[in-house]
């Protein structure tokens, strides 16, 4: 029914099962119980740590039966399967947007709320996503990771490289 009677005392989180609330509550502990031996990652649950460790080992035990997709987490496979079924269970309350992942809906909602939680350390720029902040920071660092394979052109945005590559295609003589 979509009812979420269980609410976290520490944040806005709500859910339909008490067990989910109890699991969520562990994320607020100041001392995380499980630590990764390969980096500084810590987790409140052993399962999350095991999932994280797969990032280091490359182990992707969850595989799609319909394509080559593999992942470290069962939940990610479940989300991936929606790309095959077309299922989009997460709906925006403000417009017709529907998404196949809860996290994508959360990002979409920022277009309505104007929330921009990612701030640049070098100027007043704020972004709605980490991706957009990282892309912006390249303006300050001068980093140009996208290089043309035909000439010396380099740019800080993939889209700029795509536009540039079309200029080479236009110069090709007809056969």
Domain positions in the chain are: 118-171
Q: Give me the architecture of the 118-171 domain, per CATH.
A: 2-Layer Sandwich (3.30)
- Terminal-residue alpha carbon distance, the chain: 62
Contacts of 164 (CB under 8 A, 6+ apart): 148, 153, 155
Query: pTM, whole model, 2 decimals?
Result: 0.55
Question: Assign residue 162 a region: left if phi > 0, alpha if psi is -120 to 50, beta otherwise?
Answer: alpha
Q: How far is CA 139 from the centre of its chain?
A: 22
What's the residue count for the chain? 175
**Residue keyed to tokens 């969850």:** 62
List the one residue out of 42, 9, 5 whose CA is nearest residue 24: 9
Tell me the pLDDT of the chain (175 aa) as tens digits: 578 888 887 788 888 888 888 778 777 765 667 888 988 888 878 888 998 999 899 899 999 999 999 999 998 999 999 999 999 999 999 999 999 999 899 999 999 999 999 999 999 999 999 899 999 999 999 999 999 999 999 999 999 999 999 999 877 666 6
């Amino acid at each position: 029914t979509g009812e979420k009677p269980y609410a976290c005392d520490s944040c806005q989180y709500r859910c339909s099962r008490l067990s989910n609330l109890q699991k969520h509550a562990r994320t607020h502990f100041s001392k995380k119980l499980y630590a990764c031996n390969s980096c500084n990652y810590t987790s409140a649950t052993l399962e999350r740590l095991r999932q994280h460790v797969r990032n280091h080992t490359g182990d992707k035990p969850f595989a799609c039966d319909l394509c080559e997709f593999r992942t470290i987490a069962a939940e990610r496979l479940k989300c991936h399967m929606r790309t095959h079924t077309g299922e989009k269970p997460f709906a925006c309350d403000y417009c017709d947007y529907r998404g196949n992942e809860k996290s994508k809906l959360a990002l979409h909602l920022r277009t309505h709320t104007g929330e921009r939680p990612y701030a640049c350390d070098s100027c007043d720029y704020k972004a709605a996503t980490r991706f957009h902040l990282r892309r912006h920071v390249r303006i300050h660092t001068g980093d140009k990771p996208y290089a043309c394979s035909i000439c010396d052109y380099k740019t800080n945005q993939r889209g700029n490289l795509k536009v540039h590559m079309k200029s080479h295609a236009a110069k090709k003589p007809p056969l």
